[in-house]
Amino acid sequence: MPSTSTLPQAEAPRLPCPAHAPGYAESRGAAVAAEPPHAQPASKTQPVETYQADRALHALAARLTGGISPVALSLAFIDWASHLAAAPQRRTEIAQEGMRDAAGFFETAMRCFAPGQGPWSLIKPKPQDRRFAAPEWESPPFNLLAQAFLLREQWWHNATTGVRGVSPANEAVVEFTLRQVLDMLAPSNFAVTNPEVLQKAFQSGGENFVFGWQNWCNDLMRVLSAGKPAADEKFVVGKTVATSRGKVVYRNELIELIQYYPTTGKVRPEPILIVPAWIMKYYILDLSPNNSLVKFLTGEGYTVFMISWRNPGTGDREIAFDHYRKLGVNSAVDIIGQIVPGRQIHALGYCLGGTLLAISAATMGRDGDDRLQTITLLAAQTDFTEAGELTLFINESQVTFLEDMMWEQGVLDTTQMAGAFQLLRSNDLIWSRVSRDYLMGEQAPPSDLMAWNADATRLPYRMHSEYLRKLFLDNDLAEGRYLVEGKPIALSGIHSPMFVVGTVRDHVAPWRSVYKIHYEVDADVTFLLTSGGHNAGVVAPPGQQGHSYQVKHKPQDAPYVGPDEWLKAAPRTEGSWWPEWTRWLAARSGEPCEPPRIGVGPVDGESLPDAPGDYVHQ
């Protein structure tokens, strides 16, 4: 593992190598011993050598279930089915609703060809459902097929929800699971029931099926060879994406710290540190020059530093969540403090990087460290009780199953991570592609965001286990039980002004969950809600059409306003949210001055690379 630094006097803590020393295991045991008994039950702290046969069995089962615990899934369906069996009135109501839908459908079918009959006489698709948006779906019999499917989908939703006695978590699992099955059976996924496909086949003489077969074979070969999508050929890291001019000024076992060259004559004295998530490559914030946040910030007169995380391998199974704080945020802040001495830092965290930044800031607040001038969180959660559909399968059974799967591999593999996120938007990310690529014989034009999305990363076994348990499962951070170096931290220890961004259609970090930061911290909070999703809402450069946002400031001592009231009160503005943020930063920055030096000079005879560095290519 590389372990070089441009600053020997500020060298970050070194990660012990599992192959040479049992340091991880000892440090893990010491950390457990320092925690209160209620924080870590003994059953959760068994060494990896315990119950190896059971773990191996679970890991084998995970290959067949895609990482879903069959026990957790079975318990959810048993909960729903048992309570439904004990509710005859509710069953009668569900049956009557089904008969009413059937009667209405047959009545509509009898007069569907009559003049003046509207295309969506019984049920309309939801605004976000694009499967039946084409005009071809408005003509019978395809309109009838779509309505029959939507009625069945609605009936199953009603049948799986509202059963008294079923736990909300199990109800959500059952509803989500059956929705995935129904989405697979939608008429848009089959050639003979999709009018768009039939029309394309008629116009092309069936060539669309030939091209679709070629697309399927190409995808299969790419999967078997562990290759990347063809889009990657046009979007190459360091050549067409991640092209902002910079220099790696520091490297340790976990990060490369990139400092970008200024593009203005003078810069604001306070540098910006960007902490991206390590479930993704950093360059989502430095994509093509026309939509690079880094390029935008340097053009606005800021000195920008970026953390680029190393992609862990199977030998890194014992990298802990706190290593990301120590070797990541802490090391970066130390290095920046020596490159730009005496200056506070504007810190930005995106997604999981934002959660890590909040933990680091709370720790710094506890310890009296005031080096952060402001804190910006992009689509980052600090309370995980309402973390959207990602929490559906986060229970003791599922987390244990995932731990055993990762125990065998050492990491959570890239395909498993990508599959989980695709399920959250299966219509957009799976079934729409099946229809377009394999039935229509088309392919979406390649984009930098698609290429970045395919450039996946892995998560270490220990880090991901701690993340799932302490944050998702136990919600320790929001409830004041999260320990850093043996002592608890509280988000109320954060006093730096905060700029927090949520996105309207975020399936990973729902904006109402992100909004909870308002009552967790003791600081001024400016909350901005932007259009788009988890990625497209954040990557919203000025000049790009279709973006809008709402923003409202809450002073530190102002009363709390709930998300629904905030949504009504916050004015809407068309355009990118980036200029709004830089105006906020400028109001909390000093007057422009001469740019700082790049790094602090090479040591040990080693020359660190230019941006984008080496770790991003792993």
- Residue 192 in any domain: the answer is yes
Please tell me the predicted confidence (pLDDT) of residue 580. 98
Last residue of a domain, which of 131, 166, 198?
Answer: 198
Q: Can you list the residues of the chain whose pLDDT is less than 50?
A: 1-14, 16-43, 45, 603-605
Measured CA to CA, the distance from residue 250 to residue 245 in angstroms comes to: 16
Last residue of a domain, which of 164, 198, 232?
Answer: 198
Q: How many domains does the chain have?
A: 2
- Residue 361 in any domain: the answer is yes
Measured CA to CA, the distance from residue 118 to residue 251 in angstroms comes to: 64
Break the chain down into helix, strand, coil percent, rounded to 5. Answer: 50, 10, 40
Residues forming beta bridges with residue 255, ordered by sequence position:
309
Q: Are residues 194 and 252 in the same domain?
A: no
Q: Are residues 280 and 348 in the same domain?
A: yes
Q: Are residues 251 and 159 in the same domain?
A: no
Q: Are residues 252 and 132 in the same domain?
A: no
Measured CA to CA, the distance from residue 127 to residue 468 in angstroms comes to: 33
- Residue 232 in any domain: the answer is no
Strand order in the sheet with 255-260: 246-251, 255-260, 304-309, 272-275, 345-350, 372-378, 498-505, 525-533, 548-554, 572-574
Q: Are residues 550 and 612 in the same domain?
A: yes
pLDDT tens digits for range 302-327: 999 999 999 999 899 999 999 999 99
Measured CA to CA, the distance from residue 347 to residue 345 in angstroms comes to: 6
Residues forming beta bridges with residue 525, ordered by sequence position:
498, 554
Residue 458, sorted as left (phi over 0), alpha (psi -120 to 50) or beta, turns out to be beta
pLDDT tens digits for range 545-588: 999 999 999 999 999 999 999 999 999 999 999 999 999 999 99
**Contact at 8 Å (CB) between 96 and 120?**
no
Q: Are residues 378 and 516 in the same domain?
A: yes
Q: Are residues 79 and 193 in the same domain?
A: yes
Residues forming beta bridges with residue 332, ordered by sequence position:
none
- β-pairing verdict for 411-412 and 345-350: unpaired
Measured CA to CA, the distance from residue 13 to residue 205 in angstroms comes to: 65
Q: How far apart are the first and last CA of the chain?
A: 13
Q: Are residues 166 and 256 in the same domain?
A: no
Measured CA to CA, the distance from residue 172 to residue 149 in angstroms comes to: 21
**Contact at 8 Å (CB) between 362 and 490?**
yes
> Can you read off the two tokens belonging to residue 495?
């006093």
φ and ψ at residue 45, rounded to 5 degrees? -115, 25
- Residue 190 in any domain: the answer is yes
Last residue of a domain, which of 198, 216, 235?
Answer: 198
Q: Are residues 113 and 251 in the same domain?
A: no
Non-local CB neighbours of 246 within 8 Å, separated by 6+ positions: 258, 259, 260, 261, 294, 304, 306, 610, 611, 612
Q: Are residues 105 and 187 in the same domain?
A: yes
> Which residue in 17, 112, 217, 351 is the catalytic one?
351
Q: How far is CA 54 from the centre of its chain?
A: 31
φ and ψ at residue 345, rounded to 5 degrees? -120, 135
**Contact at 8 Å (CB) between 459 and 278?**
yes
- Residue 604 in any domain: the answer is yes
Q: CATH number for the domain including 255?
A: 3.40.50.1820
Please tell me the predicted confidence (pLDDT) of residue 427. 64
Q: Are residues 120 and 269 in the same domain?
A: no
- Residue 433 in any domain: the answer is no
φ and ψ at residue 188, rounded to 5 degrees? -70, -15
Tell which residue, 403, 421, 297, has the closest CA to residue 351.
421
> Which DSSP category does 549 fall into?
E
Tell which residue, 384, 375, 357, has the closest CA to residue 509.
384
- Residue 333 in any domain: the answer is yes
Measured CA to CA, the distance from residue 467 to residue 498 in angstroms comes to: 23
DSSP three-state, residue 591: coil
- Residue 284 in any domain: the answer is yes
Q: Is 351 a catalytic residue?
A: yes
| Parent domain of 276 | 246-383+475-617
**Sign of the torsion angle spanned by Cα atoms 598, 580, 329, 616:** negative
Asked if the peptide bond before residue 141 counts as cis, ω within 30 degrees of 0, the response is yes
Q: Are residues 491 and 376 in the same domain?
A: yes
Tell which residue, 400, 447, 428, 429, has the closest CA to residue 544.
447
DSSP three-state, residue 503: strand
Look at the block and give the residue holding tokens 């629904």: 564
Measured CA to CA, the distance from residue 383 to residue 466 in angstroms comes to: 15
